[in-house]
A = this chain, B = another copy of it.
Amino acid sequence: MPSDQPPRMRDVARALGVSQATVSNAFNRPDQLSRELRDRILTAARDLGYPGPDPIANTFRRGRTGAIGLIIHEPLQYLFEDPAARLTMAGVARVCGEHGSSLVLVPRAEPGLPDVVPTALVDGFVAFCDPLEPERRELLRARRLPVVGLDAPVTPGEPYVGIDDRAAARAAAAHLVALGHRRIGVISFALARDSETTVVPAGLDAPTGYVANRARLDGYRDALGPALDDGGGRIVVVAARGVEEADGAAAAVPLLDHAEPPTAILAMSDRLALGVIAEATRRGIDVPGDLSVVGFDDVPAASAADPALTTVRQPHDRKGAEAVRMLLRPASTRQALILPTEVVVRASTAPPRT
């Protein structure tokens, strides 16, 4: 009468009168035993219902999991919902698949639940956060596993894959300046966690811990500052509450309510920008006639929008792919990798009405 437990390697060995080591070799090192014995062992294993070497014990012994972890600080489903994140994750997933590595999506630490970072069964992490929370960074460092940042380094100076946010933002703003805009609204991501939608008094100097946010504000200033020094211009910065279209629409409200509203709006993402267009349309404001709108990311919805959105294209898929490739390479070859961006001019921008 067979046990309810699956047989172990030892049981297979006993059944054949060979040593456990030989069974192990039958599975892992065919050159260590004769072909006949190997065949006999594998056949017996199948017949006995042996599931193969226990994955956990195997991992324990070898010290390798064959998996890559991905860390975010949004809820896990964000990876499947946000258009830009999805494009990036497709690249991550593709390279993992090609390499035969599992992709472990590590949930953020929920209140009441322990953080999974200290216990995740992975050989390395891709950190898709900007920035990684300090506590998590500490937990991550304790793991002493390889880490590659996605969009921003986990710690300044560490390897990551991203874009030149400052230059990209500068180019986007320069496009508006070239069109003749001088009253410009900027819709930034939240400056801090759980912040409200609000006009930022500090403008482009707004303090924020988010690396990309900071760099893009700097980029906008690079292009807008000189133009405004010529006189007559005005920049108003609004921090959005979240990353969704509705947050962009909400952030547009104080800009469009102004007595002398901006003739153009720079949004830090296409989703925010599409929200702006929606809000403008609701108010009967013509885009781009009365208001030019520029996004960031060039997600599929940008080109499908009406009017099609002028935006900054970044290679999302490749960004994700390169991050995994970098993680799979030897540590000594890892370094910051900056991918190119490009302003894509579409129908949502035009010269301001004279």
Q: Is the Cβ of B60 less than 8 Å from the Cβ of A119?
A: no
Select which of B49, B58, B77, B142 is within 8 A of A52 by beta carbon. Answer: B142
| Copies of this chain, tallied across the complex | 2
Given known A-B contacts A6-B144, A97-B77, A120 and B107 have beta carbons under 8 A apart? no
CB neighbors of B among A83-119 (8 A): 86-87, 89-91, 93-94, 96-98, 100-108, 110, 113-114, 116, 118-119
Select which of B51, B86, B87, B97 is within 8 A of A76 by beta carbon. Answer: B97
A67 within 8 A of B: yes
Tell me the bound Cα distance from A182 to B294 in angstroms. Answer: 49
Chain B nearest CB from A242 CB (Å) reads 16
Q: Is the Cβ of B121 less than 8 Å from the Cβ of A65?
A: yes
Number of residues on chain A facing chain B (CB within 8 A) = 51
Nearest 4 pairs between A and B by C-beta?
Answer: A76-B93, A100-B113, A97-B107, A76-B97
What would be 23 A-B contacts, judged by CB atoms less than 8 Å apart?
Answer: A51-B143, A51-B144, A55-B118, A55-B121, A56-B63, A56-B65, A58-B119, A59-B60, A66-B119, A69-B102, A75-B93, A75-B97, A76-B93, A76-B96, A77-B89, A77-B91, A77-B93, A80-B90, A96-B105, A101-B107, A102-B104, A103-B104, A104-B105
